[in-house]
Amino acid sequence: MMAEDENGGEVETLIGGFVPGQKDSTETPMMRSKEVQKAPLPKRFYKDVSIDEDGGSFRILLDGRPIRSPAKNVVTAPRLALAEALRAEWDAQETEINPAQMPLTRLFNSTIDGVEDAREAMLDEIASYLSHDLLCYPATHPARLVERQKAHWLPVLDWAEGELGGRFVQASGILAVEQSPLMGVTLRGLWQSLDRFELGAAHVLMTLTGSALLPFAFWRGFLDEEAMWQAAMVDEDWNIEMWGEDEEAVLRRAFRRKDFDAAVLVIKSHRD
C-alpha cells in the first residue's frame, strides 16, 4: 500500500499486489507471508490514523493523507466497521509497518486493484470450483476420519443441493468427479451481484478452505464462521492428532486464520 510521507512523497509499505484469480509467487497465504518478509520492513512514518467519510465511503488517513493501494488507488471502505478495522491495523504498527500483521489491508489492496478487472474470471472460477470442492472428495479410511468428515460436510452438501437445484457426486477414490454445470451456473448467478469487496472476500475464503460451498453456506447464513473453519480443517486437524504439528505448520495455520478472519469480517459487515 502507498501513503505519503511528511515531505509529501509516497512511501511504499509492501502490502498488496496479489490479484485474485492470478497465480504468482504470492499465490498462497504462507508464500505471501514469506514474500513480504524478504524486504526490510518500512519504518512507521506517521503519528495519527483517522477515518474520513467521503460520499458514503470511508477513507483511512495517515496524518491527514489518504492511504493508496499499490496501483495508487485511494483506499476506501464501504462500511464504517471495515474502516475502523483498517484504522486499527495501521494504528497497531509500532516502529515498523509489518504486512503480515495487516490481513484486512492486504485484502483491500487485492480487492481495490484487482477484483473489478477480474470479476468475470473470478465468477467463472467459483462456478467451476464445484467439481474440485473439498466436500466432494471424502476419505475412504480410516473410519473415524470418514465419520468426522460426514458430520461436517454432509449437512452442507444436503443444504447446498436444495439451494443450487442439483445433486452432488462424491468421489470414491482419487479420480476427479464432475458436478452438474447447472449448479455452477446457479451459484455464479447468485454471486454475480456481489460488490467487489464481498466477491473478493468470498474468493479468499474459497481459496483458504478449498471449497466454494463452505463460503456459500456462510454467506447464506447456514454456517457461522467457526463451523466453516472447522469443516475446512477436518483433514488438517486429523493429521495433527495423528502425527503432531511442527512450528512452520503452526505459523502457516495462524497466517491463514488471519486472512480467513479478515474475509469473514468483510462479508459480515455487508449484513448490517
> Pairing between strand 76-77 and 57-62?
antiparallel
Task: Scan for cell 519504518, then name that residue.
Answer: 43
* 107 neighbors 266 (Cβ within 8 angstroms): yes
- pLDDT tens column, 40-78: 899 999 999 999 998 899 999 999 999 999 999 999 999
86 is written with which cell numbers? 483498517
Assigned C-alpha cell, 269: 459487515
Quickly state the pLDDT bin for 31 (edges 50, 70, 90): low
Interior angle at CA 254, CA 69 and CA 247, nearest 5? 125
User: What beta strand segments (E) does 39-196 contain?
Assistant: 49-54, 57-62, 65-66, 76-77
Mean pLDDT over 105-123 rounds to 96
* β-bridge mates for residue 12, sequence order: 2
pLDDT in tens, 88-105: 999 999 999 999 999 999
Residue 8 has pLDDT above 60, yes or no: no
pTM, 2 dp: 0.87
pLDDT given at position 176: 84
Instruction: Provide the pLDDT confidence category of residue 13 given band limits of 50, 70 and 90.
Output: very low
Torsion of CA 140, 144, 145, 150, to 10 degrees: 80
Per-residue CA distances from 14 to 41, 119, 238 (Å): 8, 24, 36
CB 118 within 8 A of CB 22: yes
Could you give the percent of the chain with pLDDT greater than 70? 86
Q: What is the mean pLDDT of the chain?
A: 88
**pLDDT tens figures, 164-196:** 999 999 997 777 889 999 999 999 999 999 999
- β-pair partners for 76: 59
* pLDDT value at 197 more than 90: yes
Q: Is residue 197 within 8 Å of 205, Cβ to Cβ?
A: no
What's at 248, amino acid-wise? E
Q: Is 90 exceeded by the pLDDT of residue 271?
A: no
Residue 181 pairs in a beta bridge with none
State which amino acid sits at residue 172. S
pLDDT at 21: 44
Q: Would you say residue 153 has pLDDT above 90?
A: yes
pLDDT in tens, 202-256: 999 999 999 999 999 999 999 999 999 999 999 999 999 999 988 999 999 999 9
> Is residue 37 scored above 80 in pLDDT?
no
Domains (ranges, CATH) in the chain? Answer: 2-101 (3.30.2180.10), 114-269 (1.10.3580.10)
